[in-house]
Structures are given as C-alpha cells and as structure tokens.
Amino acid sequence: MKDDFIVPLNGLAQGRTMFRTRIGKKFFEHFENSEILDAELDAEVEVEKSGRFTGVDCRVEGDVTVICDRCLADLTIPVSTDFKLSVKFGEGESASGEMEGNREIVWLPVKEENLDLSQAIYDYICLSLPVQRVHEEGECDPEAMRYLSSENGEEPVQKDSSTPFAGLKDLLGK
C-alpha cells in the first residue's frame, strides 16, 4: 500500500506525469495513533519535471470516519485538500517549512531516487479535519446523549418509593 505513494523521480520523463490511487483504512493503519478509523479517498498526484525543477501537485477528496467527540459513535467527515511541493536536492540546505512561491520545499539527499508522499498526504488529510468533530445537532447516538444529559454522568434513576432505601436518597439530597 505504501508503494502507491512512492514517486520514482529518476524514472520520470520530462513533462507532466499523473498518478491516481485510492486511500482506505489500510493506509491509516501504517501511522501510529491515527484518529482516522476508515476512509474512502481518491488521491490525484501530478508531477511536473522540467530541467532541474520538479513540482508535485496533490489533491485528495472523499470521506473519512472518525469518532464523534460528543457521543463517541462513528462520524463521517468529507475531506477536500490539496498541496503543492517543490522537490530540491541537497544536504538539508533550508529550514523546514520554507516556501517557494505557493509551494512547500521538500529537500531530498542528492542520491535519493524516490519521493515518498505518504507522510505528506497523511498530514494534509489530518490538517483538513475540523478541530471539533461532532455530529450535526440531533444526530448523535441517542443512548449516549441520554447518559450525557443526566446529572453527574450517572444513569437517570426512576423514583421508586417501594424500596426501603427510597427515603435515604431524599435525606442525601439526590
């Protein structure tokens, strides 16, 4: 699966080359502590090679499944993100996050033949997700919401005066 995101820089002809791939659950299993449970994403990568310039444009669209922050049920979130990279060769000549126009610069060792896009794709997908991930109002798991709406996070208790302990609850103020 990870090989789907390796761009063979030395093997590319001059001009533009397109790559397309699907991103699913298995992709996110390769990353520790990923909050993404499942995915149905399409990634389109266009690599432009012209002289010493190598540019990578990537677009990712589809849906991911995460856990709702409110009810802890599965939540499907649409994803639409893109990024542009400029590949340079050298011995780490620049600081991380340096830009060239609207492109982020990626530095590779001089003898490197491949560009692995998997980490960049993962990062941009995660950055595209909202900070608070909750269902629309009224769409959360009703059982969880019933539990959350009760006082002190306890199950709502029916008043039953037929038990000998019913009077004790009134003394304790519960």
Task: Give domain limits for the chain.
Answer: 2-140
What tens-digit pLDDT sequence spans the chain (174 residues)?
A: 567 789 888 878 899 999 999 999 999 999 988 899 999 999 999 999 988 889 999 999 999 999 999 999 999 999 999 999 999 888 755 555 677 878 999 888 888 889 999 999 999 999 999 999 999 988 998 988 888 887 555 555 555 556 666 666 666 665
pTM of the model: 0.78
The token pair that represents 53 in the structure block? 């310039």
CA distances in angstroms from 20 to 24, 40, 42, 146, 159, listed in the order given: 13, 14, 7, 44, 61
Calpha distance 116→122 (Å, rounded): 11
Query: What is the end-to-end Cα distance of the chain in Å, rounded?
Result: 56
Q: In angstroms, rounded to a whole number, what is the distance separating the alpha carbons of residues 93 and 13?
A: 26
Q: What letter does residue 73 receive in the DSSP assignment?
A: S
- The span from the CA of 25 to the CA of 2, in Å, is 12
**Neighbouring C-alpha atoms within 13 Å toward the C-beta of 104:** 11
Integer Cα distance of 95 and 21 in angstroms: 31
